[in-house]
């Protein structure tokens, strides 16, 4: 068995698996790695949801802004062509 120095983060998965098969110390390493992974996945999921909500609202307001600009542009074009006066009266 190869002894490693440092924390569990320096260990590769084959070494962790071998330690898990040999004794409790390795099982603890695998359990700790699994716990850290699930905590990281939960944190990533929360931040992705938060970012997704921000992007949704940004897209919503950009769509509203685009529709308003399109409407104003149409009014200006119709006004310049003189069609607006004919349409309104």
pLDDT digits (tens, 9 = 90+) for 54-64: 999 999 999 99
| pLDDT (0 to 100) of residue 29 | 67
Collect all residues with Cβ–Cβ distance below 8 Å to 1 and sequence separation of at least 6: 18, 19, 22
Residue 3 in any domain: the answer is: no
Residue 57 in any domain: the answer is: yes
Ramachandran sector of residue 23 (left: φ over 0; alpha: ψ -120 to 50; beta: rest): beta
Kindly report the pTM of this predicted structure.
0.52
Residue 58 in any domain: the answer is: yes
How many domains does the structure of the chain reveal? 1
> Residue 77: which domain range?
8-88
| Residues 40-63, mean pLDDT to the nearest whole number | 95
Residue 2 in any domain: the answer is: no
Residue 76 in any domain: the answer is: yes
Say yes or no to pLDDT of 18 above 90: no
């Amino acid at each position: 068995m190869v002894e490693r120095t440092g924390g569990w983060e320096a260990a590769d998965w084959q070494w962790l698996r071998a330690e898990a098969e040999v004794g409790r110390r390795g099982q603890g390493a695998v359990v700790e790695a699994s716990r850290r992974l699930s905590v990281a996945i939960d944190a990533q999921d929360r931040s992705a949801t938060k970012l997704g909500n921000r992007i949704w609202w940004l897209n919503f307001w950009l769509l509203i802004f685009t529709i308003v600009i399109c409407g104003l542009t149409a009014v200006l074009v119709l006004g310049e062509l003189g069609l607006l006066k004919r349409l309104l009266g």
